Structure 1
Amino acid sequence: MTTKKLTITLVAAAIISLTGCGQKSAEQYLESAQQFQQQGDFKSAIIELKNAISANPSNSEMRLKLGQIYLEQSNFTAADKELNKALDLNATADDVLPFLVKTQYYLADYERAVSLAQSIQLSDEQAQSRVSFYSYISNLRSPLPSTDYSFPQDLIGDDQILGKIYQALTNNELESAEQLSHSLEENNYELAQKNYVKGLIASQQQKFSEASQYYQKALKIYPSWHQVSFQLADAQIRDKDYNAASSVIDRLLTLNKENPYANLLKARIYFEQQDYAKALPHAEKAVQNGLNSKMAQLIAGSSALKEKKLELAYKYLTQAAQGMSKDNLVYRLLAQTQLLLGYTEEAQNTLSQLEGLSKIDADLFSSTGIKLALKGDVDEAKTFFEKANQADSSNAANLLKEGMLKLATDDASAITTVEKAIQQDDELKQAWMVLARAYLKQGKNAEAFKVANDWQQKSPADGLTLKGVIYQELNQPQKAAEAFKQALEIEPTHVGAYFLLLRAYQQLNELDRAIEVGRDIITISPDEMRAYVLLLQLFEQSHKLKEIKPILEQKITEEPDLLSPKVALALYYRSSSKPQEAISILEPITELNSLGLIILGDSNLQAKDLVKASAAYNRLRDKFPNDSRGWLRGIGVLELQGNTQQALELTEKALKKFPNSQSLKLLQINYQTQTGQLEKANHSLTLLKNTQNAENDTLLKYEGELALANKNFKQAQNLLEKFYERYPSFISAVPLARAMQSNNQFEKASKLLEDEYAKLDDPNKHNHTMAEFFSFNGAYEKAALYYQNALKLNPQDIAAINNLAIVEISRGNSLKGLELAKQAYSLSPSIPQIEDTLGFAYLRNEQLEQANTHLTNATKLLPNDNDAKLHYAELLILTDKHSQARKLLENLTSESAKIISRKEELLNKLQ
């Protein structure tokens, strides 16, 4: 035991001895640090200085030295910390301030740099010069520079020259700045600043490659001078050196991926490379993170426009346009976006503000004119066509559009305008056609044929085709066909003549010859979608639809990359009630045309897959937003899914796109009525009636349903009877029967519904409608009959079981009602309405404990359901909880006469 203690003591003594021998003094550490610094081993120098400070924490010289090395190593934060400590430890200001003010400049802490420099006057001339220089350029950089800060008079040597260069650059005196730069000493004194100002000068001289080289030299000295990294990337972008710029920006983004300016620079690279999909998220991030830059907004808006994200483009371009001069490109892009979104009035307003019209504006004005014409604002449309032609008087296409509008509005100058278009461009085919039709419209047939003959001299096949069109307009299909055949002899690939010949054979009812022409078209133009659709129609009209299938399959085999034959085959399958086959063709294709997406959606609808149908229509709206079919079909699916509020929202969104669509306006009234927005529905109806015939058939239906919702039962019955008389059916009879029952005409309503029900090909679809009608009117035996019919078709029809349970209870068959309620609950225990029915059934069978369990839970889950409240109130009365029952009933409000009657009945029991 004694030996062990002795060994430990000896080891401890050895360790203490070794430690004592290796210990350095603070001065030795400082000397070692200086040696490492001279060797360029700054990492070791820093370690030695930290050891020196540990040995002597109050030594200001060591803090100063460590701060200087940190500054040299571009670790500005650490340098600031150590230099401040040196100053706190009473290091002389002459020694510390030149480095500390400089450090604060590189930290972009400009206000502190200026404040510190102005607080102390140094005795050393060179030290004061450096402090004043960094104070001066810090004030120039400050977000809130002092206006009374004059050029310092105590600058000497290169500090003075650098200061004057900054002054010249601030005053846009580029030539003076360049001359001064040649006076800088060729030494290492403030070498980073010397390279930096030379980079600034080169940038302003548009010498971006040279500027990049100077910025890189400055960054080699101070790699953490991030401001210069941004300027380097900017210069490289302007020099089209995108790879180099991208590397610099990626380094900046690793420091802060949210940095708005770094994201803007990245967006600029992608934008200039026309990679708009990648430019957009970076530009958005720049804007979202607070960079209120017109460039960021313009790149975001333009990229979104290119990517067809129109609402996003509209948002950013609207921001970018604010405060910009009215001749700026952003206004033209904004107008283009507004037109694509269907915001015609806004586009009209934007274009009206444009200054300095140029040729590029002609198409914008022309497109707006077309939109205004389609909206019915003809006079304003003509004004915009005139502006289009002022912007580019040589644009024959715009002259033609103006002429077409004049022709449509019976303007006598239409012919003159179209003739001008032909004079500008006699190869504008449509102009010849429009001119001939203009003469035909005026009854000048000879003049129309003269136009065709004149065109035939310039373009024989086209002239003959026009001659055929004139014969068609004059209802002479045989002569038209001969003209088209002559045109095809001259130009066998004239697709327009082929289509017109096909139409002529249809007029002559020569369907086999029309089919032959259709097959010729898909031979010379195998991706011509219109030809396939016409062929399908012709084969169906000829009662031999099945014969087109092998033709389409062969075409797909011959041309596997073409889309149109595949879409046509899918259309064949859908028309043949084989939706799954159509889906299997179209579903794998990522880039479908509009017809393909419609067929895909319709086929899924036919297959009763509403989710996939909705997805197809969503794709159609996203890719072809101006195709109203995608909107209307999408609205229809939402209605089928029972999402009436969403259907209304999509309808109102569609109305922004198609503001003159009567169908959409009627749907809006319908959904506003169904969702209880009666004031809005009344307003929409008034607006529609002001622009439409009040006796419009469809309008009668929706006006009647709105009157029914407003409880104007006599008006509702009057309107709905008119609609039913014009369109007698079970569907039109239902709202009429509801109006009749509210006018105390139950027998008449009952007969109406039963008569229409009997006429239905598949009446079982409407068992629930019939049952609900009779149940509401207290005709429980008939209601039970229709629910039983529904259960024969589907024994697990939960709604039918639950509702039949209520009917049986109402008929006095409480035990049967309980049996059915239990069955419904076992099938779907999570539906609170079903639990309420079960509780009510227990209540009527005087099983109060079970009733309490289910009715208490149902009332919690259905806080706004008056039926559930009445059932629970009845339970409370039977269990002598009168005060709770009274409170519940007094708070119950309803517009239903049946609910109010039952409420009064229960309140009377509490008397």
Structure 2
Amino acid sequence: MKIKNSLRASLLSFLFISTSTFANESLDANYEEALIAFQNEEFSSAVIHLKNIIQENPTHMPSRVLMAQILITQGNGSAAQIELDRARDGKVDNDRLITLYGQAYVLQGKYDEALAVAKLGQRNEQIESELLLIRGQAYIGKKQYKLADKAFILALSLKPKDQLALLGRAQIALQVSEINQALTYIDLSLSSVKPFINGWILKSKILHRLDDRQGALLAIDEALKINNKHLSARLTKAMLHIELQEYQQAVPHVDYILNEIPNEPRAGYLKAIINASLSSNDSGTSDNNKLTEVIATLAAVPPEVMRNTPDYYFLAGLTNFQFGNLNDAHRYLSYYLSYVEFDIDSVRMLASIEIEQGDLNSARHLLTKTNVARPGNPDILTLLGLTYLQLEDSAKAQFYFEKVVDSYPHSTVSVSNLARSKMQSGDYQSAIEVLSAVKDNELNGTQIKLLLIDSYQNTKNYSSAINIAKALIAEFPQNSFFQQRLGMLYGLNRQLPEARAAFEQSLKLNDANIIAIVHLARMDNIAGDFDKALSFLQAKLAIFDKNILLMTEISDSYLFKKDIDNALLWIQKSYAQNPNDFYVVLKLSRILAKQNKLDEAVDLVDEFIGANPKKPQALLTISTLYQQQNKHQQAVLALRDYVEKSRKKAKPLIILAKAQLKAKDNAGAIKSYKKAMIADDRYLPAYLGLVNLTIKDKNKGFSLNLISSIADITQSESLPLVLKGDLYLALGDNKQSIKFYRRALEKSDQKQAVLGLYRSYKQQDNPSKAIRPLKKWLKNYPNDMLVAIALADSYKANLQMQKSADQYQVLIKKYGPLPILLNNAASVEFTLGNIDKAEQYAQQAYDYLPENVVIIDTLAWIKSRLGEHKQAIALFRLALTKDFDNAEVKYHTAVTLFALSRKVEAKKYLIEAIDSEQVFPEKAAAKALLNKWQS
């Protein structure tokens, strides 16, 4: 009986696998049919194939992308955007989508979005050219014609005969009344083998501007020969007939448009003119009414809001300020100050709002101007001091607070503010002296010590902070809060037994000290005793019902146990108690992200940002979520806001720069790194980030200047040498790069230098010389997997295939079947003729990481060379949706397409692979193959 059941299970498994295989083959076949139909401009047929594919498999990303292309071709930008959003969620390569997004936005009139997405970067010439065209079209839509013309000129520098760029220049020339120049551009575009319909339409408009209406009609007739359903062409033809008073000839064109789009305003306008001209009284009234509505819709601007007297603005601002409606108060007070400049009460309220909302630079600007106009006012001086205190400019804060203290020496508020500014600058003794000079002041020595503890903790001087905390406990031995602070400081200083004792003592003194409870539970979790932590926390929650911090910590404890369902349940309980607690929102968003519920996580954080605009950390969180969704432009926009709202700019600017690099906005990243250097001229990550980019761009002079600055900052002997090695490696000067890497290794062990030597020798086509330094490094650092992989690759490059295979076997045994090891081993085993093992490794790597382009390519290339061309081409298509500009994948695709007798498409991919600036091992073979095909 068991044998029969086993046999039946095996048969069912075989049938399932076979059915799945046939289904995939059917999808791939349908996709190829759709692609052929698209290339033949049989769009309806292509759409049918794609709908069938998407209905069967909504995650088939190549079909989503092709559907978007067709919708854009048909002028349906909004529908195309939906498909593109789905493709982006499916992690299709941003380079594949960026131009399509730009075209979709332009079609919808979303010109700002088009400009945001079409940022120039370091992509291939084709993509950069298309982005320039999109920018030009968007600028035309925004009526920024100089910027548009600049974009089209740059596009023509890349492709001198590009029709769209020529049409764009013609359109701009027409706008600025350079008619003959416009006609020259249009005629150049129409000299193409297959001129665009828009070229004829634009020529018709140009001839119309020259009063050659008959010539304009002939041009529009040429357009309609290309596509007699083109609405813009029909609209143009109708307008020309009306101008020639040929009303009856205009009727069918206007009716055709209104039949397709009943409320098209321009067509409705023409229809009304035609009916009025033909004296059609029956329809004239309703059409005239419709014309009136159209004109109102197109031409009317919103009525200007009634402006009240200035006193009204002040009273409205004051009332809203008193009731806490800060946004409305800000708006009314700003109006009032435009009438009554530098009114002290208005400035005081307005600056207070801006400080409260974190808009410190705006508050500083307003207060500084007011202080110049009306100097010496204590309220303005105090607000200026508070602004600079929050901007962490201690010197300027002290300057303004001292002015207030000079005028009001016995004011405890003024003195305490001055003391805080001195403490922020590290001058603690001066702060104590200032406070002691004030009789009956509210800010006593205890508060000073607490502020000192905070300062020491922030500078990681934990020993000094511990000493101050011990002094406080000696003075107040029954204070639970002071014991808890001591426990935290011990924990930060890695004195764990002392930390636990302090937290336990804190709870003895006050069993309601939630912070102490949480820290004790955390110590259990860190020790791996998750159940003990959960039991302890739940017992405390029974006493302190619905405590948010306890419920959040219970959620964390379940996360430690990898019980994500219970973790989600408990963090949702916390969120229900307070949806405006960022700590809780952050925890909830992370759990949702772990469950791949990214849309829910984004909506959650976005709602929090809307309710809490002055908490910039939420912008950092949402940018991370956007990046996980492949929405890099939205991430950059969020981080720009994050930088703007951050007090210290250097670190946020680095985060922004890294996001810009992911968005392929290299120019933006360079600007952000430079701004970070300006914000803090000793901030090493800014210099390192920028030098890596300038090295990549082969900017020798600028890179050497940056490396010199890095040497000054770090005082390192080896790091500048490594960076110089990287620079000369990028410049292709392997002799120099090897020299600098060797010098760096003489100074100290530098992994980057060892790997740099390996890359230099590989680029020099002399891989055997890399083997010795790599083996030497591994002798000292035997667990360095990356260097071990470099050694295996050097064996392969040196044609020592068996050594390479043996090295990978050792690594797989040592580190387990990691995808990178399996993938690389597959390639080597295939070369050795171990076909079954190669295919097994490649498939295993793909099963682990089906999204990785290199792994997809390896599996597909093995299948291609084994004659499984249809399976291979489907995998190559998938790889190109994720990395549209991958030259090696394009070469492999070309070879496979040629084997399928798809020679035209094969040649296209092969040329793109060869023209790419990317270096790949088979590039010479690719060039030889092209020569063979062309001979």
- Tell me the TM-score normalized by structure 2: 0.45
- Tell me the TM-score normalized by structure 1: 0.46
Q: Report which of the two structures shows the higher radius of gyration computed on alpha carbons.
A: 1
RCO higher in structure (CA 8 A, sep ≥6): 2
